[in-house]
Amino acid sequence: MGEYALEAQGLTKTFGGFNAVTDVNLKVRRGSIHALIGPNGAGKTTCFNLLTKTLTPTSGKVFLDGRDITRLRSAQVARQGLVRSFQISATFPHLTCLENVRVALQSNHGTAYKFWRSLKAVSALNERAHELLGQVGLGHQAHTPATELSYGKKRALEIATTLALDPKVMLLDEPTAGMGHEDIEPITDLIRKVSDGRTILIVEHNLSVVSSLCERITVLQHGEVLCEGAYAEVSNDPEVITAYMGG
C-alpha cells in the first residue's frame, strides 16, 4: 500500500459558470489526521461532497488506497471505506445509543438471512456495538435514547456510528461546531483516540483543535489550495493570515 490513504488530483467543481472548487490536489497520509480549513465559502464542504461522491466532480480524480474511486457512487465509496460523519447529526433521535450503533453495524450485513439466523453472528454484533459505545465513552448510556444525550455526547455517538462502518478513512465535518468549551476538549480527545491506526480528514474552524490534532493542514481559499503544511508553517503564512483576516 502507498503512503497516502486518500488522494485528490485536480478536483474541480463548477456550478453553472461558478468555480466552487478549482484544481484541488490533496494527499492525506495513511494514519494521519489532516485538516481542511479556510474561510466561509472557501470550498471545504464542496470538497467533502466531491470526495464522497455526494457531488460528481466536473473534473479531477479521487483515489482511496491508490484505487481510483472517482466513478463510484456514494454508497459504493462508503463501502470501500471512505466514510463521512455529517455536520448535522445523522443519528436517529428516538433510537437508543445501542440501537443506533446496531443500525450502523447492520448496514454492513444487509438483510442476509443466514447472518440473522446465526446466534453467534448476532451475539458478536451486539458485543461489537457495546464495544464501540465503550470506546466513545457511552458505555453506561447504551439504553439512553439519542435525543436525551447532551450535544457533545451526540457527536460521540455519531463517531461511534461512523466507526461501526469500519472506515479506512473518516471524514469529520466540523466535529466541534456549536460546542461550548466544556465539550470541545472531550471530543478532541476522542478524535485523537479513535484516530489510532486510522486516517482522518477533518473540516474544522477551531484552530486550536486543528493545531492540537492535525499533522498536516490544507488551506483553501476561493476554491483553490492556498497552502499546505504543518500547523506552524501554515499559520505563519502571510497569505493565510490575510485570508483569515478577511482579506
Asked whether the beta carbons of 5 and 28 are under 8 A apart, the reply is yes
> Which span sits near ligand ADP by CB under 6 A: 35-43, 90-98, 109-117, 174-182?
35-43
d(CA 126, CA 106): 10
> Which span sits near ligand ADP by CB under 6 A: 23-31, 42-50, 159-167, 181-189?
42-50
Instruction: Out of 2, 3, 10, 15, name the contact with ligand ADP by CB under 6 A.
Output: 15
Q: Is residue 10 a contact residue for ligand ADP (CB under 6 A)?
A: no
Q: Which is nearer to ligand ADP, 167 or 223 (CB)?
A: 223
By the 10 Å C-beta count (0-12 exposed, 13-18 middle, 19+ buried), 232 is classed as exposed
Q: Is residue 45 a contact residue for ligand ADP (CB under 6 A)?
A: yes
Rounded to a whole number of angstroms, the minimum distance from the CB of residue 47 to ligand ADP is 7
Residue type, 220: L
d(CA 51, CA 54): 8
Instruction: Out of 2, 10, 41, 66, name the contact with ligand ADP by CB under 6 A.
Output: 41
Q: Is residue 20 a contact residue for ligand ADP (CB under 6 A)?
A: yes
Rounded to a whole number of angstroms, the minimum distance from the CB of residue 98 to ligand ADP is 33
Instruction: Out of 26, 43, 167, 198, name the contact with ligand ADP by CB under 6 A.
Output: 43
Q: Is residue 54 a contact residue for ligand ADP (CB under 6 A)?
A: no
Helix pair 181-194, 151-163: axis angle to 10 deg? 10
Q: Which is nearer to ligand ADP, 185 or 224 (CB)?
A: 224
Q: Is residue 40 a contact residue for ligand ADP (CB under 6 A)?
A: yes
Rounded to a whole number of angstroms, the minimum distance from the CB of residue 42 to ligand ADP is 4
Sign, CA dihedral 76-81-82-88, equals positive
User: 476561493: which residue's cell?
Assistant: 222
* DSSP symbols for 68-116: E-TTS-HHHHHHHTEEEE-SS--S-TTSBHHHHHHHHHHTTTTT-HHHH
Q: Is residue 24 a contact residue for ligand ADP (CB under 6 A)?
A: no
Q: Is residue 60 a contact residue for ligand ADP (CB under 6 A)?
A: no
Tell me the site size for ligand ADP, rule CB under 6 A.
11
How many C-beta atoms surround the C-beta of residue 191 within 10 A?
Answer: 24
* DSSP symbols for 162-178: HHTT--SEEEEE-TTTT
Instruction: Out of 42, 172, 219, 226, name the contact with ligand ADP by CB under 6 A.
Output: 42
Residue 174 is placed in which grid cell? 466540523
Binding site for ligand ADP (CB under 6 A): 15, 18, 20, 38, 40-46
